[in-house]
Each structure stands twice: as C-alpha cells, then as structure tokens.
Structure 1
C-alpha cells in the first residue's frame, strides 16, 4: 500500500472520531506535512533539487550561503559585536538537508577565518532524516566543534541568548495554515471531511470560535484589508507565534527570515480571491492538497506584516523588509561575477556567472522572495 494511502486512512479515522466529523484544514495540512512516520517533511524522500519536488535559492550555485556569510561576518565586526574575540551564535531553523548551512560555514571558514574561529552553529531540526543529512554535509565543521543540534524546547531552555542570529530559509511558508472562506460577509473556516460515497476528502465550512486566535486574526485583518465575498484566504498563526517565542528568548540578536510572501495588503488583495496555497510534486505545481497526502509539498505565502507585528510585541524592531534580490545585491552578490572569457559554457566561471544572473532575474526567486531582518537589544 502506498504511503499516501496509509496516511489517508489515518486522517479518515481522525475525522471519524471528531464530533463534527471534520477537522480543520490546518490540522489536515499538519498531518500531511509532519506526521511522525508518513509526513512529507519527516519522511526520507528527497525534497529539494533535481530528484526532489522543488528548487530553492540554495540550489543555485551556493551563492545564497556565501552572501549570508558575508552579511553575518559584517554583523560580527568589531563595530557591531564588540571585540573580535566575542562569540557569535548562528541558529538555523528547519535547515532541511543542510545545504545552506554547508555553504554558509564553508564560506565563513574560507573568507572570514577570524569570525569562524568564534562562532557556533546550532541546527533546530525536527526530522531525524534531515539531521543525518546535515551531519554528513557538515562533518568538517562538526569535527572541530562548530556544529550542534537542539530541539526548540532545548534552545528555549538555554535562553535568553546573546549575540545570536536566528535565520531560516523557506521555513514559515511550510507551517500549517488555516483556510478561511468569506460567505455573505462572514468568515468561516474551511474544514476537511470524508465523502463515503466518493471515497475522497471533501471540504466543509465550520464556524470560527469567537475570541479564538483565528477569530482575533481575522478581525484584525478586516481592520487593515477589505475582504471580499467568496474570497478564500490562508491564515498562518504558527509563523507569528514562532517570531514571538524566538524573540522572547533573544537578549541581543537578530532574526533573518527568508521566504516568499509580502505585506498583508498584497497577500489578501482582491487579486488573491483563491488564496495562495500551492502544492508541489516532482516539480509540478498544483492546487489540490487532497491528492497523495504526505507525498507532496504544501505551502502558502507568508504575511510579513504579521511577522513584523509579532516582533514588535516582544521588543524587536524591523530593520528591513526587502526583496531577496535587494538583500543579495546589498551584501555583495555582484562582486561574485567574474570578468573572464571562457569558450566553454560549462566551465566553473561560466556556471558561477549564470548562477549570479539567475538569482538576480526578476522572477519568483528574486522578487517574490523577501528577507525580513528583526533586531533586538544592544549588540555591543
């Protein structure tokens, strides 16, 4: 029996045990992505790259990690962090196969040895499979004591953290979201039930509990954005909650969140009547989250307005919200272009120059992706 059939049976049973004979879409999505044995992100299949389901910026020439290294080395300078001998802790959330961490640490060691000598890298990663992949990729840095792993609870227990940069790449978009439908001016939650006659999942509308976190979010959103009848939208309560938890455990430091999304006015604008939820399998995009549960990625655009507000509530200020293209340019990507002619289009120089240009093209990776930098505390 395929894994998705096994997970489908598990979800069906959970639905049947529910008093409403339905669960929220958020709970359905969480099971599809994070079920301990059968979830998409907890499973052992490749997710990123040619053999996976999608590409990320880390797949393009290793340049994102190099630029992040230059940014973090700049933050670790004497003017920002005090004496060069002070330690700097880098914490990556949801690092996947370890590709970004490898690029980052390799570049710090190669080009910023004085910084590398005083850093520690912590990976907060729930997947045992991904932890194993990270250990393989980071073996060189692990052998000299630069790398360790923690759960979120362990990281929080060691706080409050000082001189710490917490960073993530495409982490918030993969958190489970509520789906909401506006009907006759009333917001209702989309639930997932089981259709016995058709033997498939079906959507139902559920009331939103007054004073719940979802109700509070929707009422706050309606004060900022005009929601239209029949509009469908996603609500990610997990992402701002994560910002709040991490921010509370930072005494001095930063959060650098790289993800695709925008401000609330864009995410919930009238041109988004069907929301932003998308699924990816074998590099094919689709909008049906009920096909092959656990076997496809499911994502939704990040509302950076909500992340900024959550940061402010725990004493962080938004240093910048910019496109990934702007962040890359400001932190030296153009300097990585090499002015050397080669007749071989597959030479290392030609490949690297193509990677730089690809990251700067006005497509989804350069403009749709944003970089949010939140800062807290005196860094000296």
Structure 2
C-alpha cells in the first residue's frame, strides 16, 4: 500500500510516468494480461528514455531520491582505492579499473583524484554505464574536474569487456538494482509474482505458476536452508546472477572483483519473519514498499543474497577473498588516515561535515553494518584487504 504522505509529482514528472505506464501496459496486454515482476522492474528502471535510470531526473544526493556512500564525500572512495592499489601495482602498466554503474560519477572523481595523489593511477579507468543520461553527466563532471591527462584514461563501455584484461572490477550498489524475480508459496506450489491490471486499469499483483527453472531454484534454496518456506511466503531471487557474473568477469584474466551492497547471508535473507521479501522503493528520500507507484519516478531495489553472490563468483573460477561489513572494510583500509586528516582541518564547519560523513559510513545504525563488502581474486592475493571482521562463516 502506497504511503499517502509521499509528495505528489509535478505535471511534467507525472506525464513522464504516464508515458512509461503506457509502455508497460502495452507489454502486459501483449503478454496475456500479466508480465513477470522482474520484467516490470526492468522496464521501470531501464526502459530507454523512460526508466528511472534511463531518464533525466536527478537521482543521487540531497536533491535526488537517495544518497550512496560516494555522495557523502571522498572518504569511501579513498579507502576503496587504498585497498586495491596494491593489486593494480602488482599487475603493472596494463592494469585497468572497471567501475560498474558509476551513478553520478562521484566515486570515479574521488578515485581518480586519489590515484593521482598517491601515484597509483591505473592505465585506464573504464565505466560501464547503461544509462545514456548518467553517462553524459559523468563525462561532464570528470572532464571539468580532472586534468586532461587523467580524463584521457577514462573510457565508457557500452557492454561488458569482450577481450582479456587485467585489473579490478568494482561495483557499489549495483546488484540490488538487478531486476528481481518474486516468488510466492501457495500450498505445495511455487508461484511467480507478476504484474497485471485491475478493473480500473491500475497496476496490481497477480500470480502465475512458476516455470520449472524457478521452481528448482526456490526448492534448492529450501534445501540449503533445510526448511520449506511457509504458506504465503513471498521473496526475491536472482536466477540471472550467475550468468551476469559470468558476463562481466569472463575476460578478467588476473585481478579482483569487489562488490559493496546492502544485503544478508542466505539464512538471514530468507528468515521466516521476512515473509514479504526485501524489496524497497526510494522516492525523494522516502523509503516505502509499493513498487507499482509512479513507474519511472522512483528507485526499486532488493537486498542482496550474499551467499548467492559467493556461489556465483566461485563458480566462475574466482577464489573467495572475504566478506565483511562496510565499517570493517573501511577501518581495515585507511579509515584512520581519513580521520587524522579531518582532525587537521581548521574550518570547524567542514570538520563537522567530514565527521558526519565518517559516522554515516561506519555506524551500525547508518551504513556501517547494513552495507557489506565481498571480494574475489584470480591470480593475485587480495585477502589482506578483507581480513578484518571476516564474516564468511555466516554464509
């Protein structure tokens, strides 16, 4: 149920959403009255020119719908780069840093500036960004802020790398935005949650029998949990995750994959009390639970099953490097240096702002424990970057 306190959009924004509603409705009609929720989420987020990430509305930061770690300041990116610089140095002159879903470009800017200051600049900085609007914003930001020689290292990719490369693959809050499949348990049957239209023409949830592939994936999770899901249990799953990891990492010959996202190990992701799943919607800095509300104007995300991510990465032949909270990762990779630099700031207002940045990144009630970090390695040792507070036992 939509929170009636959510602010109403302006006429232009509402008209934009209505265009996307019409496009989704056409697919529902063509699909016999319903489409899979994963397809609805894909269209709501990525429909060309209309989806949330494909259109021009501001999404990140104080003026958008949510704030990511890089939007708070440079500390997050600097700690990430400190953890990965030894990997890039070991690989040498051909090392590449690949950022997936670069958002506003805030991480890339802070990372490239820190690479320059520390003398650890990779040969190239690749940005894989499916949104043409965000890509343009990233290019403007980096072109205006960086020296020409540093900007020249940036390369925007249309698709996953198709030729062998060596370096680092980094993704912050990317997996949570992959279109999630929703399943529901009815009796002994696994059903798929879909989106159709009610008698008034509004979007509504409908259920259809799950196909054989989805049934087997859900039953495999039950076997792993050693318990069946209860009647009416509804949650998310990412059947495409192994193929997605394979696509983005197939050509990475030597290096590290590092993922930061909010989520849980499988046994916590599918707790009995989490019977409505983990789906969260963000609209103008308000979180709510109606994914059918104003398509194209709000973000849709589902928490990450980190056990599934660990399985997908190791199935690709990568060695598991570690799993920890964001707070532990930052503390292990130079957070003390950031704090020391903050203490040296004379401007009291700026010092306070930077302290608030660190608190939001690390406190348990903020991002410190809700966000987690998982690393994989191939032909190189990254375990030291993940050694503090390793949680692999919970997987």
Shared fold (TM-score greater than 0.5)? yes
Within a 5 Å distance, the mapping from 1:309-320 to structure 2 comes to 309-320=311-322
- Alpha-carbon shift at residue 342 of structure 1 (Å): 7.9
Normalization by structure 1: what TM-score?
0.91
Matched, 1:123 2:127: yes
- Alpha-carbon shift at residue 28 of structure 1 (Å): 0.7
Separation in 1, partners of 2:351, 2:197: 55
Hey, what does 2:24 align to over in structure 1? 11
Aligned partners of 2:88 and 2:168 also within 8 Å? no
- 1:216-273 per-position Cα deviation (integer Å, ceiling 9, x unaligned): 3212211112322211100123333221222322111111011101211111111211
Pick from 170, 174, 179 the counterpart of residue 173 of structure 2.
170
Q: Give SS of 2:80's match.
A: helix
- Alpha-carbon shift at residue 74 of structure 1 (Å): 2.5
Pick from 142, 148, 153 the counterpart of residue 143 of structure 1.
148
Moved over 3 A (4+): 338-345
Hey, what does 1:267 align to over in structure 2? 269
Structure 1 residues 341 and 377, CA gap change in structure 2 (3 angstroms): closer
Separation in 2, partners of 1:92, 1:355: 22
- Alpha-carbon shift at residue 368 of structure 1 (Å): 1.0
Normalization by structure 2: what TM-score?
0.87
- 1:36-81 per-position Cα deviation (integer Å, ceiling 9, x unaligned): 011000011110111100011112222111111211212234xx43
- Alpha-carbon shift at residue 95 of structure 1 (Å): 0.5
Structure 1 residues 344 and 370, CA gap change in structure 2 (3 angstroms): same
Within a 5 Å distance, the mapping from 1:217-228 to structure 2 comes to 217-225=217-225, 226=227, 227-228=229-230
Structure 1 residues 343 and 66, CA gap change in structure 2 (3 angstroms): closer
Pick from 84, 90, 102 the counterpart of residue 72 of structure 1.
84
Pick from 175, 182, 186 the counterpart of residue 185 of structure 2.
182
Separation in 2, partners of 1:341, 1:17: 62
Equivalences, count? 363
Within a 5 Å distance, the mapping from 1:212-361 to structure 2 comes to 212=213, 214-225=214-225, 226=227, 227-338=229-340, 340=343, 345-346=348-349, 348-361=350-363
Q: Which runs of 5+ in 2 are unaligned?
A: 1-13, 383-395
Separation in 2, partners of 1:255, 1:359: 21
Separation in 1, partners of 2:345, 2:51: 46
Hey, what does 2:114 align to over in structure 1? 107
Pick from 33, 40, 53 the counterpart of residue 45 of structure 2.
33
